[in-house]
Structures are given as structure tokens and as C-alpha cells.
Amino acid sequence: MTARAKFSEAPIASSSSTSTPNPNPSNHPDHNDKKFFEGHAKAMWAVAYTPDSIRIGTGAEDNLIRIWDSKTGAMLLELEGRSRAIYALSFLHDGTRLVSGSVDRMLCIWNPHDEKLVGKSWSAHSDTILAAVYSPDDTIIASASYDNLIRIWDANGRRKTLKIADHPDAVQSVSFSPDGTRLVSGYHNFKVRVFDVRTGALYLYGMQEFVAGPWERSEDIRTRWVGCLTRGTDFA
């Protein structure tokens, strides 16, 4: 039986006829409602849309990955088999594969349509995996970890092609440039670096790194994380 996410709805006040129209109205039929759905028994650490925006993947401390219908909130699949919390998710650009990384230090590739692993999972790092993302052409995967490393993997053969070790702290997040030639990374010490994907060389932009903080409560370790970097940033 298909489960459904728990929604709470709060209508957004309608704008008056004299107000300026929204220049980018949503095509979603429920764009006048705010919807919040609860999908796991414990904290969620990873979320990802399929490229067509039809499905959402979530990973959590309950060791589960769930696939949801983004329009209705229906839970379509539950992917089991991990023994530790899921911290990283990324869909292939055609939506047929999903890579996950977790506290158990393993990378897994899933078929998000039939709940099955594609091949075997593999040990990718010596500590918790905090980020994993496909390149724009889907040929490689970049993973990042508390072990202060970024590793580049062949997306099909799971063969490590590059290790980038020049990091000042745990690597919290990674993202490819649109052309796939560069990789931007964010750190536990609120610094950001950009690397050449082919060689691992650090790009120089007048300085080797730039600081994305500190914030008001820099003594609180949670405020030091550069926790989310989105694909598409270009620093050229």
C-alpha cells in the first residue's frame, strides 16, 4: 500500500488586483498553498529532486532513503539496506540512478524505480560521507567526507580516478561547474575552494580560498558549516 507524506497546509494570502503581478508564477496547481510534509522518523540530512522535478529523494538518520511524488506527497519507494544515517543524495540527470553516501562510509548507486541497488556498494572514505554528486555529463561522481578528502569516481565502474587531499578541514559540500571542469567545495571552517576536476589542482583567483563567514555565533560549530553548494556556480 502506498504511503503518503503528512502535509500541513497554510494558504498564502492572495494578492489584490492592484498589486504588481508575480513575474515568475509557478505552474504548479497548488502554487497558492504552502505544503510541509514529514517523511522520516528522524532528522533528514539529504534531499534531491529528479531533473524533471517529478520526484524527490530524501535521506535521514533513520537509515532510510525515500522517494516521493513531488506533486501529491505520496511516498513511492523506500530504499533500505544501509545501517547508518544517509547524508548525501544525487540523481543522475535522466533520473534512472541515485547515488547515496552515509555515515557507514559507503557509496551506493540505486535504481530509484525498483528499490534495488545497482551493483555493489563500495567503501569510499575513511569517515562519514557528507556529500556525493554526479558530474553534469553523468560520467563521474565526486564524494566528500569528514576525512578531509574529495574523491572522484568513475560513475559506472566505481573506480577511483582522483583523490584531492589539499583541504583545511572536513569537506562539507561539493558541486560541479556547468561544464564539469571545476569542482567547488565548502568546509567545516567556513572556507570555499575551487579545483580542476582533471588534475585536482587548486584554482587561483588572486587568493587560494575565500571565506564564507564567520557568522554572529562563530563559536557555535553549527554556524561554521558551509553546508550547501548548488550546481551552476561559475567563478571565472
Residue 78 within any structural domain of the chain: yes
Quote the percentage of the chain above a pLDDT of 70.
Answer: 68
* Mean pLDDT for all residues in the chain: 75
Same domain, 151 and 107: no
Bigger pLDDT: 195 vs 2: 195
Same domain, 61 and 116: yes
Residue 2 within any structural domain of the chain: no
Bigger pLDDT: 52 vs 205: 52
Which structural domain, as residue segments, surrounds residue 228?
146-156+167-236
Query: Which tens digits make up the pLDDT trace of 173-228?
Result: 999 999 999 999 988 777 888 999 999 998 854 334 445 444 443 334 333 434 44
Query: Which tens digits make up the pLDDT trace of 66-77?
Result: 998 888 888 888
Same domain, 113 and 151: no
Number of domains in the chain: 2
Same domain, 150 and 102: no
Same domain, 150 and 209: yes
User: What per-residue confidence (pLDDT) applies to 4?
Assistant: 41
Bigger pLDDT: 34 vs 120: 120
Report the pLDDT averaged over residues 143-169. 88
Same domain, 235 and 191: yes
Same domain, 119 and 175: no
Q: Is it the case that residue 9 has pLDDT exceeding 90?
A: no
209: which DSSP letter?
Answer: -
Question: What φ, ψ does residue 221 adopt, rounded to 5°?
Answer: -60, -25
Residue 50 within any structural domain of the chain: yes
Predicted confidence band of residue 33 (pLDDT cuts 50, 70, 90): low
Nearest to 59 by CA among 38, 82, 88: 88
User: What per-residue confidence (pLDDT) applies to 45?
Assistant: 82
Q: Domain holding 104: CATH number?
A: 2.40.10.480
* Verdict on whether the full-model pTM lies above 0.75: no
User: What per-residue confidence (pLDDT) applies to 22?
Assistant: 45
Residue 34 within any structural domain of the chain: no
Same domain, 185 and 221: yes
Residue 128 within any structural domain of the chain: no
Same domain, 78 and 112: yes
Same domain, 194 and 110: no
User: What per-residue confidence (pLDDT) applies to 198?
Assistant: 92
Within 13 Å, how many C-alpha atoms sit on residue 97's CB side? 19
Residue 178 within any structural domain of the chain: yes
User: What per-residue confidence (pLDDT) applies to 79?
Assistant: 86
Q: Is it the case that residue 167 has pLDDT exceeding 50?
A: yes
Residues in the chain, how many?
236
* SS3 at position 200: coil
User: What per-residue confidence (pLDDT) applies to 95?
Assistant: 93
Same domain, 172 and 233: yes
Same domain, 200 and 151: yes
User: What per-residue confidence (pLDDT) applies to 234?
Assistant: 37
Residue 207 within any structural domain of the chain: yes
Outline where DSSP puts E strands in 92-190. Answer: 98-102, 106-111, 116-117, 122-123, 129-134, 140-145, 150-154, 160-164, 171-176, 182-187
User: How far, in Å, CA of 37 to CA of 50, rounded?
Assistant: 18
Q: Is it the case that residue 166 has pLDDT exceeding 80?
A: no
Report the pLDDT averaged over residues 30-43. 62
Residue 134 within any structural domain of the chain: no
